[in-house]
Structure 1
């Protein structure tokens, strides 16, 4: 152990200018990311309503959360379904579209990148989908289905638990070509072109082999970054659900872990219980990221 600390001290002394440059970032990261997480974990073991001093209750919040809170379990189920479907699909879609667009000439590539990225930064995207899935006969989807004779009366798409989660998944997939998409575009631009020539000499015969043995291994940092972004966005879904299905949604059909967190944290101000919900979500994200990291290490093998 002493030897490791000695090597670390020697590295710090040798590269002290690098640590000085990293110090502002590490200070801000610790202050605004690490410290809030630690404080939230502490509050998760307390009863804290923002009016009284926190009172230690141990595992009571977690016991109530897992055994007595049926709405939270509905949120967990919806979140897992949502993340299992939208996470991998959006991740693969981001890479496939980035890969295809990267083959275009620079001017067309820039235009297509903007076209695909625009929905993720559009401010009126929810309004558009509300018009499409409006519950009256003037809604685009209802009007189309009634015109071709599939249905004979309007469907309340965003008030029916049978449909609302699927619609939210669809909208989220449409919005998913965001940061990960740009990261993949950037990663594809940085792949050393000489690697393809070397691969051809070593027996790489087609584009699929180039993709698996050269492109993907060269993009591991971007692939990991994209995976983190997609996992976080799929597990932390809330804005799409509340904008389309309302809050709370009918029969909690679009209820998620984050909307449950919003309920207790910003409406009821039960901060101890809300911190327990946030901690469960944090552990779920951390576990998912570790699994994906192990899977990405096998790319190219």
Structure 2
């Protein structure tokens, strides 16, 4: 195990060796030319809008008049006086803290188990588990399950078992809204990260398992920690970024299931708050401030998670 760890550390050190741009260009110019179209599109449609939004966050802008610079007024209003935003932050962090780690572990666990199967069953189960994340009518299913009348499946089952006497108003009762959103988000969580983990498991060098056995690895858990996880760190990083982004940007689920705005803002998130000021009120300066705060939260969360993942296998 020490040999494997030292080998992984040596590879990491070799990756960190710096080369000049000229040397890198001469060695990899064909690759740079191939990714140039995507890089240009990424800069124009991702980086530039982010920079513009950050600039607009310091202005008052209603899309009809020119932006008026107001300094930190939007941020002061947002953080000190906007009570609904504070509710949205609390709901968003609760959703992220609960669904983020659980969905990440679910993605890896199911990918690890499915990867042990023969090719055909693996392909079928991958499709079954991935299907909910791309289903177009997913909200109709959960609306039917938690329908507020006696025809909803949840109410029908509870009444049949004698637990309740009358239907529960699931989407109209504040205390039930957040647990339902967590449940639906977890059900939808086996998406791109799940596929990335399966791909990563497929690319692990099988000879490393033989070397691990010679080096003293005695069971599957040690094999997982010292061989499998260090070998698929890029996929683990990608999956972490995707799960953090998904858990902090919950909006469509809340709007579709519990309405907009939800009862007592129980399902209100930062992204639905952004939707309110950006797409309903057209207060683009204030909406840009909300987007900037959400971006900073995502950035900090990603940095912390990546630091933790670098310790995998040590």
Unaligned runs of 5+ in 2: 1-17
Distance 1:253 1:9, change over 3 A: same
Q: 2:33 aligns with which of 9, 14, 20?
A: 20
1:88 aligns with 2:101: yes
Alignment partner, residue 112 of structure 1: 125
TM-score (normalised: structure 2): 0.93
Alignment partner, residue 178 of structure 1: 191
Q: 1:282 aligns with which of 281, 295, 312?
A: 295
SS of 2:20's equivalent in the other structure is helix
Cα distance in 2 for residues equivalent to 1:227 and 1:166: 23
Cα distance in 2 for residues equivalent to 1:14 and 1:298: 31
1:266 aligns with 2:290: no
Alignment partner, residue 297 of structure 1: 310
1:147 aligns with 2:160: yes
What does 1:200-211 correspond to in 2, within 5 Å? 200-211=213-224
Name the count of aligned residue pairs. Answer: 298
Per-residue CA deviation, residues 186-217 of structure 1 (Å, 9 max, x unaligned), is 11000011100000000011000000000000
CA shift for structure 1 position 20: 2.4
Alignment partner, residue 171 of structure 2: 158
Per-residue CA deviation, residues 254-278 of structure 1 (Å, 9 max, x unaligned), is 0000000000000000000000000
CA shift for structure 1 position 55: 0.3
Cα distance in 2 for residues equivalent to 1:222 and 1:14: 25
Alignment partner, residue 52 of structure 1: 65
SS of 1:113's equivalent in the other structure is helix
Alignment partner, residue 222 of structure 1: 235
Alignment partner, residue 12 of structure 2: none
Distance 1:6 1:155, change over 3 A: closer
Unaligned runs of 5+ in 1: none
CA shift for structure 1 position 120: 0.8
